[in-house]
Amino acid sequence: MAEQTPTKVQVAEYLDINLGTETWECNKCGHGLGAATQNYKEGCLIRDRSPEEIHQPIIEGEYTFAPDPGWCRIVECYCPNCGVLIDTEYLPPGHPLTHDMEIDIEQLKAKHAGNEEK
């Protein structure tokens, strides 16, 4: 049987790239997350969290055993459809989010040409 180019390639735990539409998709539910040439975070729901919600302080004062919420925030990116936590970033407040994956789509297509869908 002739091999077919897959329509989707999983490039991260919760991210696919649809080679046909050249878009990001949620790997859990297939929800579209925008153009694959852009940052997938632009298609996510974003939340700013105090790190103390995740890393519990043990004592009060300047050194609590937890990150300092004034210096450090947790930025979470969710799939708008299924709510899976796609990415977390620890950033100083106001620091730009990272464009962490900028994949060469043409090379990705060439690489997967002839592979069966995963």
Partner 1 sequence: MSIQEDIQEVIMPEFDTNIEDLFARMNPEPQTSLEEEYADEMSDIEFSIFRHKLATIATEGKEVMAKLGVSSALRSEDSGTGIYTACGDMSSAAAGVYYHALSGQLPVKYTLSKWGTDTSVRIEDGDIFFSTDPIYGATHTPDQIAFMPVIVDGVLVSWVSAVAHQADVGAMEPGLSAMSTNAWSDGVRLLPHKIGTNFGLREDLVQSIGNMTRVPDEQILDIKARVAACTRMVRRLKDLAETLGSEIFIGAVRRCVDDGRVQVRRRLMEFNDGTYRSTVFIDGVGGDMGLQRIHCAITKKDDKLTVKLEGTSPQNPFSFNAYASMPVTTLANPFFSYLLSDVPPSVGLLDQIEMEIPDGTCLSASADAAVSCSLWPTFLLQAAAHCATMKMAFDSDHRDKLSATQSANAVGGYGVGVNQHGLLAADLYVDPVNGSGGGARPDADGVDVFAGIWGNYMDTNDAEQLEIRGPYYKVYSRIARDGHGFGKFRGGSGQDTAYVAHKVPDALSHGTMGFGTKFPTAPGIFGGYAGNTTPGAYILGSNVIDLMRSGEWDAPTSTGDLVENRLCEGEYKFDYATYPALNVTDGDVWMMVGAGGGGWGDVLERSPQMVVEDLRAGVISDFTAKEIYKVAYDPESFMVEVEETEKLRDETREERKQIGKPYSEFIQEWEQQSPPEHALKYFGEFPGTVA
Residue 29 binds partner 1 (CB under 8 A):
no
Q: Of 78, 29, 25, 24, nearest to 49 (Cα)? A: 78
What minimum distance in Å lies between the beta carbon of 71 and partner 1?
5
Is residue 40 helix, strand or coil?
Answer: helix
Write out the E strands in 58-99.
Answer: 73-78, 85-91
Residue 100 binds partner 1 (CB under 8 A):
yes
**CB-based contact 67:76 (threshold 8 Å):** no
What minimum distance in Å lies between the beta carbon of 5 and partner 1?
14
Residue 9 binds partner 1 (CB under 8 A):
yes
Residue 69 CA from chain centroid, whole number: 23
Residue numbers of the site for partner 1 (CB under 8 A)? 9-14, 41-48, 51, 53-56, 58-59, 61-68, 70-72, 74-76, 78, 80, 82-104, 107-108, 111
